[in-house]
């Protein structure tokens, strides 16, 4: 389980409220670990109960008050312990791949629109990542260790999206070939 640890990393980079964390999980952290706000609030409650994080209530005018969380000493220890222990490499889960193999028993051509939709989503993600890279890591800037590490993770996201786009093009070519060469599978 890594949501607690992802939250610790995010709060170490910058303390924040549950709502702010949820937005980060739609952005930078979410590039490699997703979470909904309900999940975040629940885990924040448990982490506070366990003394991993501390909360400070912040009054705001014009908008609701918020609870700003920051990492306490036990949280730092928990993160260090987790960093030292091995985790198993994740396996992929692609329902689109299930669909592609399932198309052998249905309509290959019917999957083209769906594949194109996925392609558009990944193209958008890639553009988003590249914009973030240009913004946060301009050419030959001097970076500290934390920024270097953030950059190499972002490069991973970029490589993933580029690979996925190339593969989806391969999938589209295959589906079109099957649909064209074998038009009786309507």
**Rule CB under 7 A: which residues touch DNA?**
1, 3, 17-20, 22-23, 34-39, 41-42, 44-45, 60, 62-67, 93
The dihedral region occupied by 152, where left means phi > 0, alpha psi between -120 and 50, and beta the remainder, is alpha
Contact 54, 12 (CB under 8 A): no
Placement of tokens 């190339």 in the chain: 166
Query: Which of 33, 132, 136, 137 touches a second copy (CB under 8 A)?
Result: 33
C-beta closer to DNA: residue 62 or 138? 62
Phi, psi of 2 (to 5 degrees): -130, 0
CB 31, CB 154: distance < 8 Å? yes
- Does the protein bind a second copy through residue 84 (CB under 8 A)? yes
Query: Residue 68 or residue 158: which is nearer to a second copy going by CB?
Result: 158
Binding a second copy by CB under 8 A: which of 107, 127, 131, 134?
107
> HSE on the CB side for 134, CA within 13 Å?
5
- Give the whole-angstrom CA distance, residue 112 versus residue 129: 26
Q: How far is the CB of 38 from a second copy (least distance, A)?
A: 17
| The entry of DNA, a second copy, none that residue 17 binds, CB within 5 to 8 Å by partner kind | DNA
Q: Which does 42 bind (CB under 5 to 8 A by kind): DNA, a second copy, none?
A: DNA
């Amino acid at each position: 389980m890594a949501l607690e640890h992802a939250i610790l990393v995010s709060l170490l980079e910058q303390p924040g409220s549950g709502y702010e964390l949820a937005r980060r999980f739609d952005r930078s952290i979410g590039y490699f670990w997703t979470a909904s706000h309900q999940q975040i609030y629940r885990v924040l409650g448990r982490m506070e109960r366990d003394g991993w994080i501390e909360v400070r209530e912040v009054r705001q005018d014009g908008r609701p008050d918020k609870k700003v969380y920051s990492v306490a000493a036990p949280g730092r220890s928990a993160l260090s312990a987790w960093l030292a222990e091995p985790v198993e490499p994740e396996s992929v889960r692609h329902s689109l791949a299930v669909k592609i193999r399932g198309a052998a028993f249905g309509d290959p051509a019917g999957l083209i629109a769906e594949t194109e939709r996925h392609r558009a989503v990944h193209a958008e993600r890639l553009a988003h990542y590249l914009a973030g890279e240009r913004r946060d890591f301009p050419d030959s800037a001097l970076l500290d260790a934390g920024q270097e590490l953030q950059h190499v993770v972002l490069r991973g996201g970029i490589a993933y999206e580029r690979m996925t786009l190339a593969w989806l093009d391969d999938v589209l070519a295959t589906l079109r070939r099957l649909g064209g060469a074998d038009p009786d599978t309507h």
